[in-house]
Amino acid sequence: MVAKMKKKATLGHAIIPMGFIITALVLTMKVWGGDPHLPILFSAVVASLVAVFGLGFTWKELEDGIIETIKMSMQALLILMIIGMIIGTWILGGIVPTMIYYGLKLLSPSIFLVATLLLCSVVSLATGSSWTTAGTVGIALVGVGIGLGMNPGLVAGAIVSGAYFGDKMSPLSDTTNLAPAMAGSTLFDHIRHMMFTTGPSYIICIIIYGLIGMRFAGSELDTAAINEILVGLEANFNLSILLFVAPALVIMMVVMKMPAVPGLMGGTILGALFAYLFQGADISSIIEAMHYGYSSETGITVIDDLLSRGGLDSMMWTLSLILCAMSFGGVMEKSGMLEAIARSILKFAHGTGSLVLATIITIIAMNLMAGDQYLSIVIPGRMYKKIYEERGLHPKNLSRILEDAGTLTSPLVPWNSCGLFMSGTLGVATLAYLPYAYLNLINPLISIFYGFTGITMEKLPETEASVVA
Taking a C-beta distance cutoff of 8 angstroms, is the pair 372, 416 a contact?
A: yes
Q: Residue 89's closest CA among 232, 234, 226, 250?
A: 250
**160: CB partners within 8 A, 6+ apart:** 130, 134, 411, 422, 426, 433, 437, 439, 440
Residue type, 250: V
Helix H or strand E segment including 45: helix 37-49
Taking a C-beta distance cutoff of 8 angstroms, is the pair 189, 180 a contact?
A: yes
**126: CB partners within 8 A, 6+ apart:** 166, 170, 172, 251, 254, 255
Return left, alpha or beta for 459; rule: phi > 0 is left, psi -120 to 50 is alpha, else beta: beta
3-state secondary structure string, 184-202?
CCCHHHHHHHHHHHHHHHH
Instruction: Report pLDDT for 456.
Output: 92
Q: What is the pTM of this model?
A: 0.71
Phi, psi of 309 (to 5 degrees): -165, 180
Helix H or strand E segment including 454: none
Instruction: Report pLDDT for 463.
Output: 46
Instruction: Report pLDDT for 222.
Output: 58
In DSSP terms, 459 is beta-bridged to 393
Query: For the purposes of burial, counting CB atoms within 10 Å of the CB of 3, is it exposed (0-12), middle (13-18) or buried (19 or more)?
Result: exposed
Helices 316-334, 11-26: inter-axial angle, 10-degree rounding: 160
Phi, psi of 459 (to 5 degrees): -90, 160
Q: Residue 368's closest CA among 40, 16, 13?
A: 40
Taking a C-beta distance cutoff of 8 angstroms, is the pair 435, 457 a contact?
A: no
Q: What CA–CA distance (Å, rounded) separates 17 from 148?
A: 46
DSSP assignment of 374-433, as one string?
HHHHHHHHHHHHHHHHHTTB-HHHHHHHIIIIIIHHGGGSTTSHHHHHHHHHHTS-HHHH
Side-chain half-sphere CA neighbours of 286 within 13 A? 17
Q: What CA–CA distance (Å, rounded) separates 355 from 357?
A: 5
CA distances to 178, 343, 364, 371 from 374, in Å: 8, 20, 12, 9
Query: What 3-state DSSP class applies to 459?
Result: strand
* pLDDT per residue of the chain (469 residues) written in tens, 0 to 9: 445 678 888 889 989 998 898 788 778 877 887 887 898 899 999 999 999 999 999 999 999 999 987 887 787 788 878 888 988 998 899 988 888 788 777 667 788 899 899 888 887 876 677 887 888 778 888 888 887 788 999 999 999 999 999 889 887 677 887 788 778 888 778 888 999 999 999 999 999 999 998 887 665 555 666 788 788 889 899 999 899 888 888 777 766 767 767 878 888 999 999 999 999 999 999 999 999 999 888 888 778 877 888 899 988 887 887 788 788 888 988 898 877 877 787 777 778 999 999 999 989 988 887 677 877 887 788 778 878 888 899 999 999 999 999 999 999 998 888 998 899 888 899 999 999 999 999 999 999 999 999 999 999 886 454 444 4
Residue type, 93: G
Query: What 3-state DSSP class applies to 33?
Result: coil
Q: What CA–CA distance (Å, rounded) separates 270 from 96?
A: 13
**336: CB partners within 8 A, 6+ apart:** 8, 9, 55
Helices (H) and strands (E) in the chain, counts: 26, 0
**DSSP symbol at 294:** B
